[in-house]
Structure 1
Amino acid sequence: MELENIALDAADPARLGRFWAALLGAEVTHESPDLLEARVAVPGGPWLDLCLPRVSEAAPAHPRLHLDISGGRDQDEMVARALALGARHLDIGQGDVPWVVLADPEGNPFCVMEDRPAYRRSGPVAALPLDSADPQRDLAFWTAVSGWVPAGSEPVLALRHPSGSGPLLELCPEPRPKEPGTKNRLHLDVRLAADDDPDAVLALALELGATPVEHDWGPLPWQVLRDPSGNEVCLLPAHR
């Protein structure tokens, strides 16, 4: 198994997808009226597909996953680039912090990060901060399903691709529990390997605290779960 997709619901996939592709220097690999996909590559590390499906539901009030964008020593230039592409400044009560909080053209918050040693091999996306009710428990779950490995514990527990490059998946103590009946606007997809047994993978995920998602989206070729803290994650079938 390996973490493959960052999925972001969009009212207008073309508009929002082209914003993110331009900001991250990602290659658009698919575009249709209801879906845009762009590949974010990290030299010497993994690639991740940013997938933006058309979804009509409004975004939840409190996002549990967002993108931290690499700014580093060029933070000011990255902020200016994002604003020129259609982002805006956003006040979420962050106060005086070294990173810059912005909203993308559909209002999704993201951060442009300052220079940190931990981010210097991250590539365009510095980190994926995910709300967790129990970071130590969720570390075990995400280690099992993502193919990534623990990457330190300061200031939060995190995982990273085994190459040591690519973004950090940070398990951040949640400020509030997941709201019942809501779906994260941004979620992660995991791809099974050719030799993975789908039933065994599902059984392991459930054993580690995942729960199936009941939905009315019709038949899907993948399994939709919630992680132990209620965050959606999709188990995608192996490539044929």
Structure 2
Amino acid sequence: MPLVVEFAAQEPGRLARWWAEVLGWTVVGEAEVRPDGPGVPLRFVPASEPKSGQNDVHLDLRSESHGDQTHIVERLFNHGARFADIGQSIEVPWVVMADVEGNELCVLEPRKAYARTGPLAAVVVEATDPREQARAWAEELEYDIVAEHGEFASLRPPTGEGPYLEFLHNQEPHPGMLRTLSH
């Protein structure tokens, strides 16, 4: 079963077009974005209320070099993304931003592990028990568990292409406007 990431959005069509443009993907219908290569579909549905607080799921974007990371940050900023503070240290090597509706995302520094993911390196989910969540999703999606330790677990499609599905420990995940679905 493929993975789909669903955003609740104030303006689903606008947010779909924004993500399609920044990822270089294709809008299908009014509010779904599909990759032209490795990736997972992004679906945008009407929000029942405005976003408040941090999402419990966010997207990590891949960069190929430090110069590329800077270029991606600049491109996102020029398309309306803003820098975000989610409590990260100033020493982390990634850049935290928010899209035009405030959904958090990270632009990662170059990492060899993400070489075959496409522009979307990972879908990151906050969970009270990352290893338990990873095992359940691995079975549901038929993904491989590639890392599992302490407060982190990571899954990968068996093809070795496309984004990772990563679970990070958070005792109280934030109820957000973004969720992962098996399709």
- TM-score scaled by structure 2? 0.90
SS in 1 for 2:35: strand
Larger RCO: 1 or 2 (CA < 8 Å, sep 6+):
2
Alignment partner for residue 160 of structure 1, among 150, 156, 173?
A: 156
For residue 40 of structure 2, what is the aligned residue in structure 1?
A: 48
Deviation at 1:63, TM superposition (A): 1.5
Summarize the alignment of residues 54-73 of structure 1 with structure 2, pairs less than 5 Å apart: 54-73=46-65
- TM-score scaled by structure 1? 0.70
Alignment partner for residue 136 of structure 2, among 141, 155, 158?
A: 141
For residue 165 of structure 2, what is the aligned residue in structure 1?
A: 169
Instruction: Name the Cα RMSD after superposition.
Output: 1.7
Deviation at 1:149, TM superposition (A): 1.2
For structure 1, list consecutive stretches of 5 or more residues without a partner in the other structure: 192-240
| Contact map agreement 1:149 1:162 (CA 8 A) in 2 | yes
SS in 1 for 2:161: coil
Asked if residue 116 in structure 1 is aligned to residue 105 in structure 2, the reply is no
For residue 76 of structure 2, what is the aligned residue in structure 1?
A: 82
SS in 2 for 1:172: strand
Further displaced range: 54-63 or 157-166: 54-63
Deviation at 1:136, TM superposition (A): 1.9
CA radius of gyration, larger in: 1
Give the distance between the partners of 1:58 and 1:147, measured in 2 at CA. 34
SS in 2 for 1:7: strand
Which aligned runs of 4 or more in structure 1 are off by greater than 3 angstroms? none
SS in 2 for 1:152: strand
SS in 2 for 1:20: helix
Asked if residue 132 in structure 1 is aligned to residue 127 in structure 2, the reply is yes
Give the distance between the partners of 1:56 and 1:63, measured in 2 at CA. 15
Give the distance between the partners of 1:127 and 1:177, measured in 2 at CA. 21
Question: Which one-letter code corresponds to 2:14 in the other structure?
Answer: R
Overall identity of the aligned pairs, in %: 36
Summarize the alignment of residues 3-22 of structure 1 with structure 2, pairs less than 5 Å apart: 3-22=2-21
Give the distance between the partners of 1:173 and 1:17, measured in 2 at CA. 29
Give the distance between the partners of 1:68 and 1:164, measured in 2 at CA. 17
Deviation at 1:117, TM superposition (A): 1.1
Asked if residue 106 in structure 1 is aligned to residue 135 in structure 2, the reply is no
Give the distance between the partners of 2:64 and 2:95, measured in 1 at CA. 11
Deviation at 1:187, TM superposition (A): 0.8
Question: Which one-letter code corresponds to 1:5 in the other structure?
Answer: V
Deviation at 1:41, TM superposition (A): 3.6
| Contact map agreement 1:149 1:159 (CA 8 A) in 2 | yes
